[in-house]
Amino acid sequence: MTTDGRVALVTGANKGIGHEIARQLGEAGVAVLIGARDADRGRVAANELRQSGIDARHIPLDLSDEESILEAARTIGQDFGKLDILVNNAGITDPEDGVPSVASTHALRRIMETNFIGTHAVTKAMLPLVKKAPAGRIVNLSSSLGSLALNGDPTSIYYAAQLLGYNASKAALNMLTVQLSEELRGTTVTVNSVSPGFVKTDLNGHTGHLSVEEGARLPVEFALQGADAVSGQFVEAGGPTPW
């Protein structure tokens, strides 16, 4: 497939929503880098997209390994000299997470390490390349569970899912969105938190009610925003999510 010259990195793109985001970006004519920590899973995922005519290649990337993050940034810099789209998709839940009286300390550390600290490390490493693109787009895969307001609202459909570690990690990710968006105010780079909805994936034992195709749609829309792009938003299908 011929690409339009844009290049995207999707973290955790070997499966789930990330893999589908990569597919939809590829179908839109963007060259996609399949960030995956496992080389075999990453190569298989990239091959599958290439068989559909998408310009996809695996790039080794483990959010808990800073050297792999810096190496990925060096590779993208050498091969492309810029990064048009960064989709921070990789994320985890943890079986030892739960309400505050139950959640294990180790689980909280593991979740924050990947969903917030690792995502920040990737973003920081890629930022110089994103700034070199004509109109960089950073999309953070957040969750409505990261909304402080909805966690305290018994009428919310999300109220029952009080997972301290996971929800706090997405609230922290939202802080990255707000602060980085402010830091980049006046530039052409945008940063947004997008909630994909409750999607059937390994993350939730396939209990979600949306397909990955449906879940990838809004993150892709924000990744492909044009000249009138918004920044610093927290959105889900249907509109803004309360912080």
Any idea which residues carry the catalytic annotation?
Answer: 166, 170
17 scored as a contact of ligand NAP (CB under 6 A): yes
63 scored as a contact of ligand NAP (CB under 6 A): yes
Q: Among 21, 142, 114, which residue's Cα sits nearest to residue 34?
A: 21
Residues 139-168 that bind ligand NAP (CB under 6 A): 141, 143
Task: Give the whole-angstrom CA distance, residue 185 versus residue 120.
Answer: 18
Q: With CB under 6 A, what is the number of residues at the site for ligand NAP?
A: 31
Task: Give the whole-angstrom CA distance, residue 197 versus residue 194.
Answer: 9
> Residue 3 pairs with which residues in a beta bridge?
none
State which residue, 6 or 19, has the beta carbon closest to ligand NAP: 19
Q: Return the range that interacts with ligand NAP (CB under 6 A); candidates 57-65, 98-106, 131-139, 223-231.
A: 57-65
174 scored as a contact of ligand NAP (CB under 6 A): no
Out of 31, 87, 89, 164, the residue judged to bind ligand NAP by CB under 6 A: 89
Sign of the CA dihedral running 169, 66, 70, 184: positive
202 scored as a contact of ligand NAP (CB under 6 A): yes
97 scored as a contact of ligand NAP (CB under 6 A): no
Sign of the CA dihedral running 86, 63, 123, 237: positive
